[in-house]
Every structure is written in C-alpha cells, then in structure tokens.
C-alpha cells in the first residue's frame, strides 16, 4: 500500500468536543502525517469546560484556533491561513466521512486544482454536477483554493466560493462518496 497523501484538513466545531475528536481520530488514522487545523467557534464558557485544545494534543501536527466569534466562514479564513500541504479538505464535527475512501481516491487520482465527490444526504445518494454541493465533498489544491479566498462572512459564502471555483476551472469528478451528511447538521 502506498504512503497516504499529505493534506491539510480544516475542522470547524461548535460545542461538539467528543464528535470532533472522533472525526479527527478517523482522519488521522488514514492520514497520520497530515495536518489538522481545528477552529473552535464555541462560547468561552464551553471552551473553558471542554479543554479541546488540550485534548487535541494527542494528535500530531494539529493546530487549534480559538475563534472568538461563531462564524464558520471567519473560522475557515483563519484556518486557511495555516494550510501547509498541497491539498486541503473541509470537515464538520457532525457529519460522517469515509476517510479510507478519500485516501484511495487520492492515491488513484492526484488533485491539482480541485476535485468533487458524490455524497449521501440523509442516506440519499447525490451526485451534483454543479457548484451546489457541500464543501466537505470537495478536495482543493491549496494554491487554487487560496486564489478563491477569502470567504465572505455571509450566508452561502461556501457556495459562492464554489461557484467561483467552477467558473474558473472544471473540477475532477471522482466516483466514490466520502461525505455522509445529516439533515440540518447536528444529530442529537
């Protein structure tokens, strides 16, 4: 088996320490030498209780960002400034990801600008051919992603960035789903 690709993974979290740690562990199991950047949008009282920064220290090459405002797009911008590998993916704390599939896809199909994958939404297989898709199902070349930044701090900024990406380049379409998205995010 080939050595896994090195990539950067950006996780944004809000009051989901245990789920976030599970997602990071799953990612690191497939990509042990890759970078994880965690932007914590949780309120200060939760951060003091959860001690996420300390909990993340068991993972190599992991950076913690204490984001003082609950803005996913602000968190993305802060995290994107710390990317150090050639490819980057975005992750949530409340969806499921098959990181073994991602590893196999990257071994078979190196990504230069960006690639998209199908995904499941509420167990329904979806394979959009446009920019209207979850950003968590996209693999970006870091240089290409940085040419699209910054994310605006407004609703739909991820789709706006994806629309710009599709306008600039045609993505690689990969055939295996990595993302298993829940409706409205959080499962309680």
Tell me how far apart the alpha carbons of residues 63 and 86 are, in angstroms, rounded to a whole number.
17
Average pLDDT in the chain: 94
* Side-by-side strand order, sheet with 124-126: 96-97, 179-181, 119-121, 124-126
Q: Model's pTM, two decimal places? A: 0.95
pLDDT digits (tens, 9 = 90+) for 96-132: 999 999 999 999 999 999 999 999 999 999 999 999 9
Record the tokens describing residue 2, joined without a space.
């080939």
- pLDDT value at residue 147: 98
Q: Which domains does the chain have, with CATH numbers?
A: 8-181 (3.90.550.10)
- pLDDT value at residue 59: 97
What is the radius of gyration, based on Cα positions, of the chain? 15
- pLDDT value at residue 5: 75
pLDDT digits (tens, 9 = 90+) for 37-90: 999 999 999 999 999 999 999 999 999 999 999 999 999 999 999 999 999 999
Nearest to 99 by CA among 151, 36, 57: 36
């Amino acid at each position: 088996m080939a050595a896994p690709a090195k990539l950067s993974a950006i996780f944004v979290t809000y009051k989901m320490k245990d789920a976030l740690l599970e997602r990071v562990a799953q990612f690191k199991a497939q990509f042990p030498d890759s970078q994880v950047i965690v932007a914590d949008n949780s309120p200060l009282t939760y951060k003091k209780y959860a001690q996420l920064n300390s909990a993340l220290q068991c993972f190599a090459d992991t950076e913690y960002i204490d984001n003082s405002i609950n803005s996913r797009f602000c968190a993305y911008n802060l995290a994107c400034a710390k990317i150090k590998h050639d490819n980057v993916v975005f992750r949530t704390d409340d969806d499921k990801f098959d990181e073994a599939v991602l590893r196999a896809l990257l071994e078979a199909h190196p990504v230069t600008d960006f690639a998209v994958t199908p995904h499941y939404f509420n167990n329904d297989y979806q394979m959009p051919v446009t920019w209207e898709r979850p950003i968590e199902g996209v693999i970006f070349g870091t240089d290409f992603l940085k040419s699209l930044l910054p994310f605006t701090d407004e609703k739909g900024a991820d789709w706006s960035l994806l629309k710009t990406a599709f306008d600039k380049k045609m993505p690689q379409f990969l055939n295996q789903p990595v993302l298993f998205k829940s409706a409205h995010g959080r499962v309680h």
